Amino acid sequence: MTCTDLGGPCDLAHHGETADDVINAQDAHLKERVKAGDEAHVPARKEMKGRWLRPRQSLGWYNDVKARFAELPED
C-alpha cells in the first residue's frame, strides 16, 4: 500500500506482513517527512495522530485499511 492509499500525499510504497505493519510504516513515514519539513505530509500526520489518540472513533478507517490490505495480491 502507498502513502496515498493510507491518506497521505505521496506514492511511497509500504510493505508488511499485516495491515498493522503497513499502518505503522505509514505512521513512521509521516513522522519522518514532517520532521524533515515536508509540509505536504502535515495534514496526513495530524490525521494519523488523531487516530492514535481516538482509536475507537478511527475504527472505520482501520477496518477499511485491513480490508483493502487483505484484497491485495501477494508478492
Tell me which residue range forms the domain holding 25: 4-71
Number of domains in the chain: 1
DSSP symbols for 32-62: HHHHTT-GGGHHHHHHHHHHHH-TTTTHHHH
Quote the pLDDT of residue 55. 82
- Using DSSP, state whether 2 is helix, strand or coil: strand
Quote the pLDDT of residue 75. 66
pTM of the predicted protein model: 0.90
pLDDT in tens, 10-61: 999 999 999 999 999 999 999 999 999 999 999 999 999 998 888 888 899 9
Quote the pLDDT of residue 45. 97
pLDDT of 74 > 90? The answer is no
